[in-house]
Amino acid sequence: MPKMPRLRKARPRLTPLTRLREARERLRSRLPARLREVRLRELRPPSVRLPRTRQGQRRGAQAVMVGCVLALTPATWMHTTADARIRSVADVPARDVAVVFGAGLRDGAPTPYLAHRLDAAAELYEDGKVKVVLVTGDNSREEYDEPDAMRTYLTARGVPDGRIVSDYAGFDTWDSCVRAKKIFGVERAVLVTQGFHVRRAVALCRAAGVDSYGVGVAERRDVTWYYGGVRELAAAGKAALDTVTRPDPHFLGPRETGVTEALASGGP
């Protein structure tokens, strides 16, 4: 009986991706064992080795302590510089000018935190503690105008428009302090802001040459308050650096006479 021809088993058709994987595995198998071991070690995350000797542990603890001291030094400087100059609306010394720092807008109107600052400034004006209110904030975009929103709020609270001066380039606390001194000629001022920010404001304005007292507006302990407190720890480092390097503001510009004219004008 004649032999039946042997049928060859059909090989499954390989996709290009499968062929690429097989070729890669063949290449890996041809690598020396030492090289394969090195490749595997490179893929593992580096291990952190803790010091085993007492001397190493002592040095590690000292390094941590030095890091903590360096991190807290700017905050300590702020408290040392400003603590004696933090007052309330009732007992702050009278000054010609109150400086109110911007704190954001919501739908074109002051946020609750900024509104509380403006309420305190209006109260200072009503009590005769200040004669002019300098509102300083961000107007870097046409659709975002903190100073004008602050002016509108204050006039609604009864502060005359002629007693309000706008600084449209107060992009941060250092800029506002430097511009108050160099651009608007403010020598002495009451700074109005929240309690978590007031020490930094006083320290920076004093470094910029403005003899300052601060009114820290009280707030309930909400998420924004805690965020502001944590943010101040980081901002303290920048504040200390600003007092040492004394950079120019983002925008300095020419001298403005708004504060001088407001103080010289008659009437309420």
Pairwise CA distance, residues 144 & 126, whole Å: 29
Q: Which neighbouring-strand residues pair with 192?
A: 100, 215
DSSP structural state of residue 123 = H
Pairwise CA distance, residues 254 & 183, whole Å: 7
Q: How confident is the model at residue 69 (pLDDT cuts 50, 70, 90)?
A: very low
Torsions phi, psi of 49, nearest 5? -100, 120
| Run of H or E including 189 | strand 188-194
Query: What does the radius of gyration of the chain's CA atoms come to, in whole angstroms?
Result: 32
> Nearest to residue 117, comparing CAs of 187, 197, 179?
197
Over the stretch 206-216, which tens digit does the pLDDT of each residue have? 999 999 999 99
Percent of the chain with pLDDT over 90: 54
> Rounded to whole angstroms, what are the CA distances from 132 to 36, 90, 99, 100, 161?
76, 17, 9, 11, 10
Tally of CA atoms within 13 A in the half-sphere of 134 that contains its CB = 31
pLDDT given for residue 218 in this prediction:
84
Average pLDDT, the chain: 82
Q: Does the reported pTM lie above 0.75?
A: no
pLDDT given for residue 17 in this prediction:
61
